[in-house]
Amino acid sequence: MSKKAKRRGRPPGSKNKSTLAKVSKPAGSVSKMDVGQLRDYIAGLESTLAAKVQQQRDYFEGQLAGLRIYADNKAGAAVRAVMRVPNTRTRAKVKPKYQSKKHKRLKWSGRGMLPIWMREEMKGTKLTKEDFAIK
């Protein structure tokens, strides 16, 4: 069994150090902050959250666009397959190559199994298939 390849890089939506650095961590507990500091802290968190949501939205919209292209290609191929006009031409009848020695109306094109009439006429004689060939 082969080992699974390790994933490289961070998955979308994981911690991004650059966006987390914008929000300063409170020096102590939140309960000890005054109202102005809490509002600044909450505004920083909201902007970070908005940036993360936008980042994930961009990622998923890109994935969705790729899926739309894929689905359009598959649907187009299906429509082309359905709309394709079937080949309705008929082939010309094959001319016979072999004829019975006893009954001239019995003929064979040489395709498929050996006819019963030819087997019966060849039985007990030294005749071959080539002896029945139409000249």
Query: Whose CA is closest to 103, among 124, 123, 117?
Result: 117
State yes or no: pLDDT of 9 exceeds 90: no
Same domain membership, residue 69 and residue 123:
no
Q: Is the pTM of this model over 0.85?
A: no
Quick one: average pLDDT of 123-135?
Answer: 92
Q: Which domain holds residue 126?
A: 98-132
- Rounded to an integer, what distance in angstroms lies between the CA atom of residue 114 and that of residue 71? 52
- Mean pLDDT score across all residues of the chain: 85
Is pLDDT larger for residue 28 or for residue 62? 62
State yes or no: pLDDT of 134 exceeds 90: yes
Same domain membership, residue 103 and residue 47:
no
Residue 5 lies in a domain: no
Beta bridge partners of 108: 98
State yes or no: pLDDT of 20 exceeds 60: no
Residue 110 lies in a domain: yes
What's the chain's Rg over C-alpha atoms?
41
Instruction: Please list, in sequence order, all residues whose beta carbon lies within 8 angstroms of the beta carbon of residue 133, skipping any fewer than 6 positions away.
Output: 97, 98
Same domain membership, residue 65 and residue 40:
yes
The count of domains in the chain is 2
State yes or no: pLDDT of 105 exceeds 60: yes
Token pair 């890109």 is at which residue?
62
